[in-house]
């Protein structure tokens, strides 16, 4: 079955969508419905006004090229570094500075309050820094001992 829509990238790097009626929408935004709990499920493509144009149940159901384009675009706007280890937390009291290793390289951030560390389902957890950037911990049990000890007091 041919897809009821087409996507391409214009010279400005914006996505353009041609819908089932042949209408072209410029500068559309793909947005994940469940970015944390089920990233694969549900991607919505919205126009610049924020109105949904297309709902894709699963990215994997799309043909390869379309999926690559979407996934690349999503990767450009999604930023949730995966925390791999905690090297140091500056003090016992918040706000404190965390020096960490992530899948996107080493960085440091400020944690405002102990409530910004929260446990998700299973062994996952999320740390949100003072700027609202979320760091995902994929598996608490697979962190090294030092990191686990640092996290103990939050979870």
Contact between residue 24 and residue 38 where contact means Cβ atoms under 8 Å apart: no
For other proteins, the closer CB: 3 or 10: 10
For other proteins, the closer CB: 2 or 13: 13
The least CB distance from residue 82 to other proteins, in Å, is 12
- List contacts with other proteins (CB under 8 A): 11-13, 49-50, 75-81, 90-97, 102, 104-107, 110, 113-115, 130-134, 149, 152-155
The least CB distance from residue 2 to other proteins, in Å, is 30
For other proteins, the closer CB: 58 or 77: 77
Joined tokens for residue 36: 């944390």
Alpha-carbon distance 68 to 82, whole Å? 22
For other proteins, the closer CB: 60 or 91: 91
H or E element that contains 33:
none
The least CB distance from residue 18 to other proteins, in Å, is 21
Query: How far are the Cα atoms of 54, 79, 115, 123, 144 from residue 128, in angstroms, in the given order?
Result: 30, 12, 9, 17, 20
The least CB distance from residue 115 to other proteins, in Å, is 7
Contact between residue 35 and residue 80 where contact means Cβ atoms under 8 Å apart: yes
């Amino acid at each position: 079955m041919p897809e009821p829509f087409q996507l391409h990238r214009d010279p400005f790097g914006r996505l353009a969508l041609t819908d089932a009626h042949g209408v072209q929408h410029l500068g559309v935004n793909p947005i994940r419905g469940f970015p944390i709990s089920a990233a694969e499920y549900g991607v919505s493509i919205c126009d610049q006004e924020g109105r949904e144009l297309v709902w894709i149940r699963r990215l994997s159901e799309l043909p390869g090229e379309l999926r690559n384009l979407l996934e690349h675009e999503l990767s450009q706007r999604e930023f949730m570094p995966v925390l791999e280890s905690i090297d140091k937390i500056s003090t016992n009291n918040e706000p404190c500075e965390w020096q960490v290793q992530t899948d996107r390289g080493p960085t440091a951030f400020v944690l405002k309050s102990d409530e910004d560390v929260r446990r998700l389902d299973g062994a996952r957890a999320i740390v949100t820094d003072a700027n609202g950037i979320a760091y995902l911990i994929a598996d608490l049990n697979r962190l090294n001992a030092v990191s686990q000890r640092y996290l103990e007091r939050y979870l």
